């Protein structure tokens, strides 16, 4: 078998055999297949697609490129959650300790932000002392003792995906549904969880803007999870408006702590409880997440989770040295708060990165004072821009052009959770 045989098969619209797929994944992971050859195959997959058998074998081969973690020794049922990414999406922070307080173990291997969407590890690293890199012993100890962990994946977890993800990012093949689904699910299956809930977002601030494509992605990932023995369900959730009132790192941590303390923005609370309920259901845990949250159990788990990874839950969070406000030019009702524009502004302020190796400003981000449907007055502050580098404010303001639309009538309310799949 040669790489040219594999390339011609998919280029011409054929189905790759199981042997071809496993040969390619194995030889690309060890460097035998060059990046330019792999790029050609990824582009052929973008145009030609994959059927269910091909995708299942592709995902399985990516899992087999590394090690599969064994969590069977834990005394609790395991369940994880994955979000396809959005603006102000701090859900993992209150969600993991909440589900742990309900009685499950949440082994969340998270990532960093890239572009306009934030990363869970970047948010958590704004907590003084907190560490994303844990040894296998520390990881298992946290799951046993606390019931929740948020950390970086080890190098041995689906290494084929690590190489391929970077290649997709520079070859305009990121949006291929088979490649997205296999990337996400290979890592989630390899981490060893028994159950999984997917938060698949659609709208202006989501990776999948169109709800139809988001639904297709959700259905594909649910099928992959179930085929690999992982009880999987997905919620389709709206990301036309950013979640909560903040986008950034330390700003979102502070907002998450408000939720754990029994307050916080209603939309963050609603989606946290909806995801927690779904996670408890697929894990077989009989608990009422709303009652657990109200009773303070989730806050106790949060403090224990942060401390177990070296963080100080009582430490002051980073604060921006420069803050710029944006005021309204008219009275009316907020009709639109564009999630992508807000996310791009937060990125330009320093909260995100252009390349994986770029540093982030923990204090940077955007705060919004009003949401769609709320009445506002001329001169009201609608946005706050936070950064440690004042020179970033002008380009952030440019990104926010047209982000807020004010009119005479309130927009028609739309549900935060559109539907459940699986």
Domain map (residue ranges) of the chain: 3-49, 80-156+190-308, 322-407
- Considering the candidates 126, 183, 256, 370, report the single residue annotated as catalytic: 183
- Separation between Cα atoms, residue 338 and residue 146, nearest integer Å: 37
Quick: pLDDT tens for 361-392: 999 999 999 999 999 999 999 999 999 999 99
Q: What is the mean pLDDT of the chain?
A: 95
Residue 114 above 90 pLDDT?
no
CATH C-level class of 80-156+190-308: alpha beta
Q: Is 82 a catalytic residue?
A: yes
Q: Is 301 a catalytic residue?
A: no
Categorize the per-residue pLDDT at 353 as very low, low, confident or very high, splitting at 50, 70 and 90: confident
| pLDDT mean over 172-176 | 88
Quick: pLDDT tens for 126-171: 999 999 999 999 999 999 999 999 999 888 899 999 899 888 878 8
Q: Is 122 a catalytic residue?
A: no
- Separation between Cα atoms, residue 258 and residue 94, nearest integer Å: 9
Two tokens at 73?
Answer: 């020794």
pLDDT of residue 358: 78
Q: Is 161 a catalytic residue?
A: yes
Residue 354 above 90 pLDDT?
no
- Considering the candidates 10, 82, 123, 340, report the single residue annotated as catalytic: 82
- Considering the candidates 161, 199, 238, 267, report the single residue annotated as catalytic: 161
CATH C-level class of 3-49: mainly alpha
pTM of the model: 0.94
- Separation between Cα atoms, residue 132 and residue 118, nearest integer Å: 16
pLDDT of residue 359: 86
- Considering the candidates 123, 187, 201, 348, report the single residue annotated as catalytic: 187
Measured over the CA atoms of residue 278, residue 283, residue 284 and residue 286, the dihedral's sign is negative
- Considering the candidates 112, 123, 168, 341, report the single residue annotated as catalytic: 168
| pLDDT mean over 237-255 | 97
| pLDDT mean over 200-205 | 96
Pick the closest to residue 69 from 96, 99, 109 (CA basis).
Answer: 109
Q: Select 322-407's CATH number: 3.40.50.1820, 3.90.1170.30, 2.40.30.10, 3.40.50.150.
A: 3.90.1170.30
Residues contacting residue 232 through CB under 8 Å, at least 6 positions apart: 195, 196, 197, 198, 221, 222, 224, 225, 226, 282, 422
């Amino acid at each position: 078998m040669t790489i040219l045989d594999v390339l011609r098969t998919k280029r011409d619209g054929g189905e790759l055999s199981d042997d071809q797929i496993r040969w390619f994944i194995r030889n690309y992971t060890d460097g035998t297949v060059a990046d330019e050859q792999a790029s050609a195959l990824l582009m052929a997959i973008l145009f030609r697609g994959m059927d269910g058998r091909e995708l299942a074998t592709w995902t399985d081969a990516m899992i087999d490129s590394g090690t599969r973690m064994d969590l069977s020794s834990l005394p609790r049922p395991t369940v994880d959650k994955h979000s396809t990414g959005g603006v102000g999406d701090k859900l993992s922070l209150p969600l993991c300790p909440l589900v742990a307080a309900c009685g499950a173990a949440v082994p969340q291997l998270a990532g960093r932000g890239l572009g306009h969407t934030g990363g869970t590890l970047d948010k958590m690293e704004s907590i003084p002392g907190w560490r994303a890199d844990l040894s296998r012993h520390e990881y298992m100890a946290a799951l046993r003792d606390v019931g929740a962990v948020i950390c970086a994946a080890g190098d041995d977890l689906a290494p084929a995906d690590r190489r391929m993800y970077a290649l997709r990012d520079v070859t305009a093949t990121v949006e291929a549904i088979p490649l997205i689904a296999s990337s996400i699910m290979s890592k989630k299956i390899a981490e060893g969880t028994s159950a999984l809930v997917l938060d698949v977002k659609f709208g202006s601030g989501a990776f999948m803007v169109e709800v139809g494509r988001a639904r297709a992605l959700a259905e594909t990932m649910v099928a992959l999870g179930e085929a690999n023995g992982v009880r999987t369900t997905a919620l389709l959730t709206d990301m036309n408006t950013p979640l909560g009132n903040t986008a950034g790192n330390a700003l979102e941590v502070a907002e998450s702590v408000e939720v754990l303390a029994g307050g916080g923005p209603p939309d963050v609370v609603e989606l946290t409880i909806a995801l927690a309920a779904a996670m408890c259901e697929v894990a077989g845990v009989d608990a009422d997440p709303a009652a657990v949250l109200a009773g303070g159990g989730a806050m106790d788990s949060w403090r224990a989770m942060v401390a177990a990874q070296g963080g100080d839950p009582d430490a002051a969070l980073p604060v921006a040295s420069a803050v710029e406000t944006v005021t309204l030019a008219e009275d009316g009702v907020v009709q639109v708060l564009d999630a992508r524009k807000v996310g791009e502004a937060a990125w330009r302020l320093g909260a995100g990165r252009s390349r994986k190796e770029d540093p982030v400003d923990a204090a940077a981000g955007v705060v919004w004072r009003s949401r769609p449907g709320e009445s506002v007055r001329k001169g009201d502050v609608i946005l706050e821009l936070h950064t440690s580098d004042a020179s970033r404010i002008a380009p952030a303001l440019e990104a926010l052009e047209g982000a807020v639309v004010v009119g005479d009538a309130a927009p028609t309310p739309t549900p935060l959770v559109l539907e459940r799949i699986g």
